[in-house]
Structure 1
Amino acid sequence: MSETRFAASHEWIRPEGEEAVVGITSHAQEALGDVVFVDLPEAGREVEAGESVAVVESVKAASDIYAPVAGTIIGNNEALSDNPGLVNSAPTGEGWFFRIKPRDMGDLGNLMDEAAYEAKVAAE
């Protein structure tokens, strides 16, 4: 996952060609506890970096999920509607939230790499 980048708000983004997949980090899902519901964004929605685009609800709390970069939502993970626990069991795999077509792929460079994200988490 070396191309994966991380936002300070605990989302990860992994480029796949001219689009990218977004989810929450393992650290974030551990802090949330058992995920019971996910409200996903609609395809076609234009978003800005840092904009709240989804909501994840756990047995502990509801939390916003933010767009790590500006762009257009092009799809979401319908599997989470039937099985929100995928966020817990596979946060960086099958538990992804949405696909985005970034306005500028270069914006991913403004996010943390894995080492910087791990250092941030360790410092919290």
Structure 2
Amino acid sequence: MTDKPSVLFVCVHNAGRSQMAAAWLRHLAGDSVEVRSAGSAPADRINPTAVEAMREVGIDITDQTPARLTWDTAEASDVIVTMGCGDACPVFPGKRYEDWKLTDPAGQPLDVVRQVRDDIKTHVTGLLSTLKP
């Protein structure tokens, strides 16, 4: 790990879970961690319910766009966190992996997405504690 650790959050569509996780890490870590997110089959846009759930806690993710997972993005990351993409998430040798079991917020009502948001914050807080020297 370099002086500034890098974390890549990956889910299938890069429209909900991985975007919320990246936003939480940016919010909690500031510029002390390089944050990336990607999807194995990215959606056209961020899940609007995820946008609303994050807005409720003062975090704006409207400027984010789902991105495709690439070899270069994974290779440049110290930690890769997968969220429900199963076999669609490739394994990159030599990387630290975490797999977070989280409900997919796609098509879920706001109250369910709020719970996913809060679960993600708990995971991100734990992850952040392992990244600091």
TM-score (norm 2): 0.29
Query: Which structure dedicates a bigger proportion of its chain to helix?
Result: 2
Query: Which structure dedicates a bigger proportion of its chain to strand?
Result: 1
TM-score (norm 1): 0.30
